[in-house]
With several copies, the nearest count.
Chain A
Amino acid sequence: MATTTMTMAKALNDGLRRAMEKNKKVLLMGEDIGKLGGVFRITDGLQKDFGEDRVIDAPLAESAIVGTAVGLAIRGYRTVCEIQFDGFVYPAFDQIVSQVAKLHKRSDGSYTMGLVIRIPFQGGIGAIEHHSESPEAYFAQTAGLRVVSCSTPNDAYWMIQQAIEHDDPIIFCEPKSRYWEKGEVDLDTPPHGLFDAVVRREGSDVTVIGYGSSVKTILRAADTAAAENLSIEVIDARSIAPLDLGPMIKSVEKTGRLVVVQEAPNTASVGSEIVTELTERCFYSLRAPGIRVSGYHVPYPPSRIEDEYRPNVDRILDAVDRVMGFES
């Protein structure tokens, strides 16, 4: 097993490179992704190596980035669109919801909507407004789309390749605050299927589920809790839509307690969905209601106070305490 250590940013870069080497129909398109390599340098060097026809610097219009990727998909190309920041995906919302999500169906399967929309999402980098949002629920809600998120370099490396190979359109959410953290990457074998939830840490008292940047925060909370003899099982959802409920059900049946962590606000969120589904399926096992730890119901705040907006170790542990204390 050839493993190597790299950042998530590099893992994505390598994953994209490998996908482009494998399949000549794979294109990249986005704002500033060429010479600049993207504002996060995820596509660094790829235009130099694959040319301007395959790594396409886009005029500044997100609806057009996605809309032309649809046309390219119809022509048999696989385009990986880079949305520069989460808050700039909304101009493309119409194309995503009305076309990307529905054209396979509308054409009775004639069109393959093989395209990936990469979105650096969630906060934590001290950015100004519109650069720290968590729009995943908008897409999770939309039939016809799939939504995934990576939380480690290894996942990033493999999931981006799996997403590009997949025939359905995929919203690929990258936790930008983790881009520069390093981890082991296995260059030979993908660790999991693209749509698998994964238990990141076993535990017996409470199940805590999250995705993207939250996973590491939850793991930290689990460390702290362990010091107090509280055993947290940590699940990385990875696939936000569809949810891989199997491992989650198994866990909740074991622990009887559930906390879901996300940076998006509560209302009609992925967290609400996880709680609802698991409550329906594990009703008799649950010894307390499932609780969400989320961003507050406000526009993402100025980043000097973003740490108080985003779920942190304290808030997660507080929620854990609440579900633990429910019966006592």
Chain B
Amino acid sequence: MIDEELVQLLTPEGERVSHPDYQSTLGGDEIFGFFRDMAIVRRLCNESTSLQRQGQLALWAPVQGQEAAQIGAGRALAPMDFTFPSYREHGIAWCRGVPPEDMLRIFRAVSNGGWDPQKYRHSVPTVVLGNQALHAVGYAMGVQRDGAEEAVMTFFGDGASSQGDVLESFVWAASFNAPVVFFCQNNQWGISTPSSLQSKVPLFRRARGFGFPGVRVDGNDVLAVHEVTKRALENARLGGGPTLIEAYTYRMGAHTTSDDPTRYRIDAEVEVWKHRDPIERVKSLLVHEYGFKTKDFDEVGDEADVMALKLREDVLAMGRPDPITMFDDVYAAPHPLIDEGRREMIELGISGGSR
């Protein structure tokens, strides 16, 4: 990971390094805020994993290892910015204010979305790899037409970077100089596919060939991610056009709870990345540079426990939806086949038809 092209402001040991183009001007409290976010998101992830193991969720997509990438990016967003995630952006959703229980609706298989995307300015999860990148560009074209000083950010993985939709979104973003930031979390894997199969050269370089800048940032360094993202978003808001950020990070866990990574990757690799834990390094900085104490961290732990407990309660309280809700919001206007389906379901006694 010693890489000239990699923007890093904090070593895995939590020591600051200087960078010619980027420096962090954040104070201790702000950095502590990032720590708190990351710790809570990790707790949320662990709780969800255990909920899944206990049969309370159909599936879970762990984010462990990618907390710095997501919190660094998520905290760089302005309230009016709009974000288009993939399915693993729990940290971004957290920053956007999406209630944790809403993030879990899709995984409890009671919803295909889970929250009101217009309310949080954070789109519903996109499961089809790469589709969302085009939505982000289109939304950004709308921002341009409104003359608004807003940025749009979209998230996808190293695997999704091979999809035509992501690549076309690069073409369009460049052509229209759209205010969009492409945030690629290169977590080294797409299920069992190593990122080296998607690209033989660092992914961030792809942007340049489309006519806009690409940056590789240490995705486990929350300060670096934050600075790089903030700069890219500001640039977009001010009419500077798109940027591709490759956050070089690692998926510490399985692809999802259905996955068995031991079939395709070696423990040693995971071990190496354990030493680059995104939370540990910022904790170390907070202790050594800003004098934060065990008590301070413990308080966050307590807060995370409260969140997790509430999350668990909320999830357990999520009942099975009335089947007749499958007919809601398919169309905005009345539709005969929807009416017919509802009627049949009531006649068959499958649903009481209450709504």
Interface residues of A (CB under 8 A from B): 27, 31-32, 34-37, 39, 53, 56-61, 63-64, 66-77, 87-88, 90-91, 94-95, 98-99, 102-113, 126-130, 143-144, 146, 166-168, 242, 245, 265-267, 296-299, 301-305, 308-309, 314-315, 318
Contacts and interface: CB of A to CB of B under 8 A. Distances in A.
A36 B190 CA distance: 12
Candidate in B139, B171, B175 with the most chain A CB atoms within 10 angstroms: B139
A208 to B, nearest CB: 17
Nearest to B323: A308
B126 to A, nearest CB: 8
Given A36-B263, A302-B321, A71 B142 contact: yes
Candidate in B134, B175, B258, B323 with the most chain A CB atoms within 10 angstroms: B134
Interface string B57-85: 01100000000000000000000001010
Contacts of B287: none
A157 B110 CA distance: 36
B307 interface: no
A58 B106 CA distance: 28
A35 B194 CA distance: 11
Contacts of A111: 117-118
A267 B337 contact: yes
Contacts of B58: 126-128, 303-304
A144 B331 contact: yes
B352 to A, nearest CB: 12
B326 A71 contact: no
B119 interface: yes
B171 A296 contact: no
Contacts of B134: 63-64, 66-68, 70-71, 95
A308 B135 contact: no
Interface residues of B, number: 81
A32 B142 contact: no
B239 to A, nearest CB: 14
Contacts of A315: 348
A72 B160 contact: no
Given A110-B117, A302-B109, A302-B111, A129 B127 contact: yes
A105 B197 contact: no
Contacts of B322: 305
Interface string B315-346: 00000111101111111110111101100010
Given A57-B197, A67-B131, A129-B112, 8 more contacts: A35-B263, A53-B144, A69-B138, A71-B84, A104-B331, A128-B58, A302-B112, A309-B323
A59 B172 contact: yes
B18 interface: no
A27 B146 CA distance: 13
Given A32-B191, A63-B134, A301 B326 contact: yes
A298 B338 CA distance: 8
Nearest to A75: B142
B93 interface: no
Given A71-B136, A297-B341, A308-B350, A107 B117 contact: yes
A143 B198 CA distance: 34
A22 to B, nearest CB: 17
Contact of A35 (B144, B264, B332): B264
Interface string B253-297: 000001010011000000000000000000000000000000000
A98 B134 CA distance: 13
Contacts of B131: 67, 94-95, 98-99
A306 to B, nearest CB: 8
B108 interface: yes
A184 to B, nearest CB: 29
Contacts of A108: 111, 113, 116, 328-329
